[in-house]
Amino acid sequence: MKVFSSIIFQTILVDIVSSAILTTGQLQMEAAAGYVFMATGNSFINLPGRWRCWHDISYGVTVMVNFWSIPIQAIYRYITVVQKRQVPPYYPAMIYLTVAVYATLFATLYALQMTPIELSQSKEVIQLLPFWATKDVHKFCVIPMISLGVGLYILIFIIGNACGITILLWTTRELNRTLISAKGHLSLKTLQMHREMTKKIFTQTILPCISSVFMGLICAVPFVLDTYYGGFFLSLFALFPWVDVVNPILTLMCIQRYRRVVIAMILRRPISKLSMVAPTSRSNMDGSNIDKSNTS
């Protein structure tokens, strides 16, 4: 497991940063009369003028970068095991940066087309909804629902997530083929480690997928209601901050060695050396030491 500790450590850092941004940002969204309204629900964030509109895109970029933690782990395993090459520590960081730049460039057009609500004629539109009639809406930025900015904003996430899932499936397939062909040369520990890593990666895709389906349902429901009172879109991003909470828990649930170490730390028991060493294989497939004791 030592060979994968670097990438797991980097994904943990990304989870921490993402959690901080999503939790403090508290993005709120509303849609009415052909307009999309977005604002922060954090009372401590008070940005002037158009700067408020730039805050809104940071939420989407963060979600995109955080999602790519899963494909990056799959790429890391593919290079390490299938191509049998060492991955430089900065390599995952470069992929994170590439995804962030890609998402930011397209999201910039979205932000440029947004208008602070006080400069728009749509303030009355949102206040006509009973939910917002007595609430302060001065933080909102507005953009027409049918616009190039909204279209590109949605498109970049569809393309980005589709590419990530495609890479995840392809690299995992190639990894499994390599492990099957070399099964006779690998120790049971090595095979178990790869099973646990695969289980962890695919399990961590469940909540983002559920969140995306949940977003689709939330967006569809108001349009089929006879009367919409507003506020329904506030639950649109409710699940995304929980991704960063659930990911470490899933890691501990799926990877036995990590789970043993954490339990030992909680119970203040001595951490055995067996819990810390990397799984080994006779053919050195995963970059670990050769296992001379396992002859199966």
Q: How far apart are CA 282 and CA 186, in angstroms?
A: 6
> According to the model, what pLDDT value does residue 242 have?
79
Instruction: Give the position of tokens 């939330």.
Output: 218
Specify which residues 142 forms β-bridges with.
37, 115
Alpha helix locations (H) across 26-90?
Answer: 51-67, 69-77
The encoded tokens of residue 238 equal: 């409710």
Q: How far is CA 287 from the centre of its chain?
A: 28
Count of C-beta atoms within a 10 Å radius of residue 175? 19
Give pLDDT tens digits for 127-164: 888 888 888 888 888 988 888 878 888 888 888 888 98
Closest CA to 147 of 95, 109, 99, 94: 109
Q: Are 241 and 63 a contacting pair, CB within 8 Å?
A: no
Mean pLDDT of 245-273: 78
Full 3-state SS string of 240-294: HHHHHHHHHHHHHHHCHHHHHHHHHHHCCCCCCHHHCCCCCCCCCCCCCCCCCCC
Give pLDDT tens digits for 44-98: 888 887 888 887 778 888 888 988 988 998 898 888 888 888 888 788 889 999 9
The amino acid occupying position 36 is V
> According to the model, what pLDDT value does residue 264 have?
81
The pLDDT of residue 282 is above 60: no
Closest CA to 15 of 55, 72, 56, 54: 72
Q: For residue 86, give the DSSP letter.
A: P
For the chain, how far is it from start to end, CA to CA, in angstroms? 20
Q: How far apart are CA 58 and CA 21, in angstroms?
A: 8
The encoded tokens of residue 36 equal: 């999309």
Q: For residue 121, give the DSSP letter.
A: T
Count of C-beta atoms within a 10 Å radius of residue 102? 18
Give pLDDT tens digits for 164-182: 889 988 988 888 888 888 7
Q: Which domains are assigned to the chain? A: 2-275 (1.20.1070)
Give pLDDT tens digits for 105-124: 888 888 888 888 888 878 78
Instruction: Identify which has the larger pLDDT, 294 or 215.
Output: 215
Indicate left, alpha or beta for 255 from its phi (over 0: left) and psi (-120 to 50: alpha): beta
How do beta strands 35-40 and 115-116 pair?
Answer: unpaired
What are the phi and psi torsion angles at 228 (to 5°)? -110, 120
Give pLDDT tens digits for 217-233: 777 776 677 777 888 88
Closest CA to 35 of 157, 131, 117, 133: 117
Closest CA to 60 of 94, 100, 91: 100
